[in-house]
């Protein structure tokens, strides 16, 4: 299987940073939804989606290792 070469340009870095921060917001919203959800099935579904999003966030951080954690987070949590 061919593996796509990741774009590490400044433009890509900027776009990935914006995307990463949007994922952070989604995770926060999902955690709030988990606290409000009554059904265990809904909670489990949201937890599995958060896990998948966390993997994507890790992939993005690994793509740009020179960015400090504080820059990724941007105090949005």
pLDDT digits 0-9 by tens, 13-62? 999 999 999 999 999 999 999 998 888 998 999 999 999 999 999 999 99
pLDDT of residue 69: 81
DSSP-assigned letters across all residues of the chain: ---PPPP-SHHHHHHHHHHHHHHHHHHHHHHHHHHH---HHHHHHHHHHHHHHHHHHHHHHHH-TTS-HHHHHTT--
pTM: 0.78
Q: Where are the domains of the chain?
A: 10-71
Q: At what angle do helices 10-36 and 40-63 cross, to 10 degrees?
A: 160
- pLDDT tier, 76 (very low <50, low <70, confident <90, very high otherwise): very low
- Copy the structure tokens of residue 39: 């059904």
């Amino acid at each position: 299987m061919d593996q796509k070469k990741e774009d590490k340009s400044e433009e890509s870095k900027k776009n990935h940073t914006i995307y990463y921060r949007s994922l952070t917001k989604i995770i926060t919203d999902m955690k709030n939804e988990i606290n409000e959800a009554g059904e265990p099935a809904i909670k489990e579904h949201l937890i599995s989606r958060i896990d998948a999003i966390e993997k994507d966030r890790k992939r993005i951080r690994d793509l740009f290792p020179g960015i400090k954690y504080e820059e990724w987070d941007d105090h949005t949590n």
